[in-house]
Amino acid sequence: MTGSALGAWESDSSQFHTRRRACLANKGRVQNRLAVLVVDHDADVVHQLLDGFTGQPVEPRVCPDPAEALLVLGRTCPDAVLLGPAVGKLDPIDFLTIVRADDPDVPIVVGAGLGSGDFAARAAEAGATAVVPRPYRTQQLLAFLGSVAPKTDTVEIRPMVIDLGRLRVDGAVPQFWLDGVLTQLPPMEFLMLRYFAERPGAVVSRNELVAALWADRPSAKSNTLNVHIMRLRKRLGDDDHNPTWIRVVRGLGYQFAVPPVVSRSPDVHSD
């Protein structure tokens, strides 16, 4: 980082500190959302991270250069910083040291991959709030960021989309995509599909399904479950007489699996 920029940051009368103080004074700036500054130069990791943030109550800002991130931090006051390996005018550990000297409270979570023990140790010594594995497990990371961020309101992390290849089930909205085609679902069929999709290959008993889907109605009839299974099979294009998506395991329950696409051979006509 250039000496002039670093001096501007360290000067208590600088525009960065002025903006930061104004930002900190505005406690309600982002209601029910988590503002996260991501400092990372790996485009693939960042893309995966942002994809996982989609549909979540998160406002991400990405800076591949720690020097740029230092200025952005001063202007925007994020709720948390996610710091990974980054290349630029400022070393990530120097970024962490400068920020921590100015603000001991802002959560700074450092991502360190395999073989990055030295980086992780230096980050912890420089005052990182926590060091987490990288590439990131987005759901766990979001929950952790929400727990350390100093917010007065609650940030509700929504369930992630379940991606099973051909089948993608929405995390919160009652819908799914099969081979890229979007289908809306009634609430109970959506809950059933999500329950199955979270347990591909497992055998789920009828009692377990009834308890999971109708917990407030333990007296739900067996016929009710049969009707929902039949409707869900139909939406998935399954054969109710020879199902491949939701199979019956006699005496045990149901087993859910995503079958491969069946390619049809072209008709051959002989002359």
Which stretches does DSSP call E strand in the chain? 34-39, 58-63, 80-83, 108-112, 130-133, 162-163, 167-169, 175-178, 181-184, 203-204, 246-249, 253-256
**CA angle, 96 as apex, 94 and 102 as ends, to 5°?**
105
Q: pLDDT value at position 113?
A: 85
34, pLDDT greater than 90: no
- 89-104 confidence digits (pLDDT tens): 889 999 999 999 988 8
Q: Please state, in angstroms and rounded to a whole number, the distance separating the CA atoms of residues 164 and 179.
A: 11
Q: What are the boundaries of each domain within the chain?
A: 3-148, 162-256
Higher pLDDT: 143 or 222? It is 143
* Range in 9-18, 171-180, 214-223, 225-234 with the lowest mean pLDDT: 9-18
5, pLDDT greater than 80: no
* CATH tag, 162-256: 1.10.10.10
Task: Enumerate the β-bridge partners of residue 254.
Answer: 204, 248
- 192-223 confidence digits (pLDDT tens): 998 999 899 999 999 888 888 876 565 556 68
- 162-186 confidence digits (pLDDT tens): 889 999 998 778 899 999 999 999 9
Q: How far is CA 262 from the centre of its chain?
A: 32
In the chain, count of helices (H) and strands (E)?
A: 10, 12
**CA angle, 228 as apex, 221 and 180 as ends, to 5°?**
165
- According to DSSP, residue 260 is labeled P
269, pLDDT greater than 70: no
Q: Are 63 and 83 in contact (CB under 8 A)?
A: no
- 67-88 confidence digits (pLDDT tens): 999 989 988 888 899 999 888 8
Q: pLDDT value at position 4?
A: 46
- 111-139 confidence digits (pLDDT tens): 988 888 889 999 999 999 999 888 888 87
The overall pTM is greater than 0.75: no
28, pLDDT greater than 80: no
Architecture category of domain 3-148 in CATH:
3-Layer(aba) Sandwich (3.40)
Q: Please state, in angstroms and rounded to a whole number, the distance separating the CA atoms of residues 142 and 155.
A: 10
24, pLDDT greater than 70: no
Q: Rounded mean pLDDT of the chain?
A: 81
Q: Please state, in angstroms and rounded to a whole number, the distance separating the CA atoms of residues 19 and 7.
A: 16
